[in-house]
Structure 1
Amino acid sequence: MQAQQLLQGRYQLQEQLGRNSGRQTWIAEDLETEPRKKVIVKLLPFSPQMQWEELKLFEREAQVLKHLKHAKITQYRDYFSIDDREASGLTWFALVQDYIPGSSLRQMLDAGKRFTEDEAKQIATQVLKILIYLHELSPPVLHRDIKPSNLIMGEDGQVYLVDFGAVQDRAKAEGVTFTVVGTSGYAPPEQLWGKTVPVSDLYALGATLIHLLTGIAPADLPQHQMRLEFRNKVNINPGFANWIEQLTEPATEKRFISTKEALRELQAPTHSSEEIYQPAGESVNYLRLIFLSLSGTVLSGLVVILPLITLPGLFNSSNKARQTEAKQYVSGMNKAQQAHYVEYEKFVTLDNQKGWDKLGIGIKNETTNYKYSFRGNKKAVFNYGIAKRGDIKSYVGGVFLVAYDRDQMITQTIICETNFSSTIPPAAPIYQNGELKCGNGTKEISKY
């Protein structure tokens, strides 16, 4: 392919951006737009020497992008093949996407840019919002290759996620494991073993933030017990460092349960003392927090009355945090069961001790405040978060097969909360006559 070459009588190649394993990426002009718009054209030559998996990934990228609608994701425009056997002896496949004016974070790093804590937090917030959109699709879409070169800082100051060449649409997965893709240093251990899950993208985001803050590629950082050692190379709030460390935990069960939880923790008030920062689900020394908040108070009258006003609210917030954990766990179990059914045409049931391993999302079957379990049949599976304390609520999730034929499998899910705090297992949700609803004594939290 050469500059000024015209593809499909429409896309005129202007500038080559990259070449990798025969692939070419070009900036081109769409001659059918007025004024002419720039687009990105990715080209894959098909030859007897190429791995068949390369073409599958290329086609998967096109198919997934075609159905994504998000302002911060490069938009699909066209996909076609070019028979160029007379000139080059090859057939080319072309994917056309919108062009995003700006620079990749990798280009900024290479130019000497060092990102501040505030800049890293803003980037993390924007990327997490994109991931929430991807992970909450049905089935979830996993990017699997988040790194500085795939994040564009647009001229509008917004961050865009590009290059879905490693994307995994779990509805299209084949076999027991996923294709092993990703970039060394950014890909988490489970991805290198072919076991990608939604929180794998969180690890890659954490590794990317470490690169932005330190200027050192994660593959070049020292490691201790598979953890990236970066604290001595940055000067950031200990709470933010803890948050990044939780993103990059080697074990999936020690990371945040979901992108929503990671974003919520990032947006929570941070503190200057590492001792005060608490990851989700851990208890907080409220009396210590009150003492610290009052230490700067000059109105003596408030010192006496403020604890009386604040304590009930704080303890109520504590219960809400515990209940949030259960909702997130049950939601994660729902999504895992839904994806598993789409992939394997059956739900995971506790028919043996390896049931949790088959679920593959690193959720424990018991925490300080809840017991988690699931049971199911050919038509549905029920996921429970049963309270171990009498002052917090229990939760139950349901995933129902509502349509199945040779072309599609459709599942619907629901999460229900008990009406009152209780350690009694809640009634299972019901799917009847085309209607999905919560069981007796519970109310609907979400349904999709």
Structure 2
Amino acid sequence: MVQRLDETHDPARRSWVDSANGHFDFPVQNLPLGVFLRGDEPRIGCAIGDHMLDLSAAAGLLDPAWQRALSQPVLNDWLAHSPGDDRALRRRLSALLSDPAQRAAVEPHLVKQADVAMHLPVRIGDYTDFYVGIHHATNIGRQFRPDQPLMPNYKYVPIGYHGRASSVRVSGAPVIRPNGQRKRPDETEPSYGPARRLDYELELGLWIGRGNALGEPVPIGEAAQHIAGYCLLNDWSARDLQAWEYQPLGPFLAKNFLTSVSPWMVTSDALLPFRSAIPERPAGDPAPLPYLDDADDRATGALAITIEASLATAAMRAARTAPHRLSHGEADAAMYWSAAQIVAHHSSNGCNLSPGDLIGTGTLSTANDDGRGSLMEISQGGATPLTLSNGEVRSFLEDGDELILSAWCEAPGAVRIGFGTCSGIVMPAPAT
């Protein structure tokens, strides 16, 4: 069912929180949810400009039926609520933060974002990473299989693998370079030590809201209603460890040492003004199988999200120079499979998804060189090192490098909203 815009999306709506008006990420039209630390206590909040509204403290201004879920240290209980409750909460928050008559009651519960630390927004039960970025899959495949970059199944089935939920961390957590087995082509045997080819992957994350029972697949026509919201995701990758270990089973230690997510969950309702038709598949490509095909998804399943990755080396930060932009592109141009198709396929064998499960899209690269979403692509596996804006050179990430992901949505007749950032600084590997 296609949802319609309402007063919360009105571009003329302004907030009495001054910093929200014209804010590049968090105007009153966004209202993403997250979890912050007040002292040592995690609390659910809603971003508004440079502030956040403490929803536990403001519970008396909300529906009493929501109080228990919104007073938890994570969003899982709230995500189990119906999409109708999601929309009702959004409408209530929008009214509270835009009506000057509500200011006296609401303002005491505002907290400056700069004064608190963010926390993982959910307790993640399971994490799955997909591979729906067709240009990334083609670029990587071409390095190993020039005559057949894509495997024969790619255009029939959304490819994914199960990641490690225990090592997902919120933006800002240190990126400790992993140790592992690696083997250069000219070496006869592997050695154990720090990864030499540490990389990032520019992705979107999907947060699952309502789940499904084991053995009961989510139909494609209902799949979008099971996505509570979106975030940025960086599936850090040790390419040399991966090259040695991935055959025959796939990613393992090269991926599970860390996955970073941005702290704010931009809700599916907030993204309604930025939905559009899924780009048509190239002539000759197979049509999706019936269980992955839906008219509403074809009409509104794409999201106009601009995604960007930047690199700030230790020298750049010391000199206070701007980060070097590595890539810039549009998510809808990068995804061969839609978010709804990902969820429908994930559950198609009866797999049960649960509130708070995390799903990554896989690296989102565009067709042009400016939109490559990993250093493996940008440097062509190290064959063409990149010269940064300050003259430093990189093929892969070095200790002290900070990788920063950002994303935002823009469309005619809508107010720009953003995702915040997802960042991490690379730290040296533990001594072996």
TM category (shorter chain) comes to under 0.3
Larger radius of gyration: 1
TM-score, normalised via structure 1 length: 0.25
TM-score for both structures, normalised by structure 2: 0.25
Query: Larger % of helix: which?
Result: 1
